[in-house]
Amino acid sequence: MRDCIVGLFVVVGLLCVAYLSVRLGKMDLFVENGFPLLARFDSAQGLRVGADVEMAGVAVGRVSAITLDDNPQHTQAVVHLQLFKDYRLSEDTIASIKTSGLIGDKYITLSRGGSSVILGAGDTINETESPVDLETLIGKYAFGGV
């Protein structure tokens, strides 16, 4: 009887550790596909797959992939967003890469526009703001370029 109780305690403990590993690792195993969107940035420096997508400070999705659009006219980073559901964003929605804290992780924030044209699944957000490059700013300030 005592061995059964110890075994049950170990199994419950392992299940708890597995659950916390999945949640803290931001791996969503049991979540449906959601609503895909693309956003093109001149630079996606510091942004990682799995980063949060937020609207009004609330997480509404994740970054599912970051690829390079190797267009000869202009090379851009294409960020694949996976929203948890269709939030009916207008075509003039602005996607910005922000930093949480001074040296924290990068995330994307979405600001709704006022257009009546709604983005569909797989559409591209054209209005984007790349992250501020602190190293370049400090270099310009140090050498009098600001």
Per-run averaged pLDDT (10 residues), the chain, 146 residues: 84 86 60 81 91 93 91 87 90 92 86 90 90 74 71
Q: Which residue is listed with tokens 């969107």?
A: 37
Same domain, 84 and 119: yes
pLDDT attached to residue 24: 64
User: Looking at the 3D structure of the chain, how many domains does it have?
Assistant: 2
Q: What is the domain extent for residue 1?
A: 1-30
pTM value is: 0.71
Same domain, 4 and 40: no
The answer as to whether 5 is a domain residue is yes
Same domain, 15 and 75: no
Please report the beta strands in the chain, taking only residues with DSSP state E, as ranges in sequence order.
35-41, 52-55, 58-70, 75-83, 94-99, 106-111, 124-125, 127-129
The gap from C-alpha 57 to its chain's centroid, in whole angstroms, comes to: 13
Same domain, 125 and 65: yes
Same domain, 64 and 127: yes
The conformation of residue 38, written as its DSSP 8-state character, comes to E
Same domain, 71 and 22: no
Same domain, 25 and 80: no
pLDDT attached to residue 66: 95
pLDDT attached to residue 144: 73
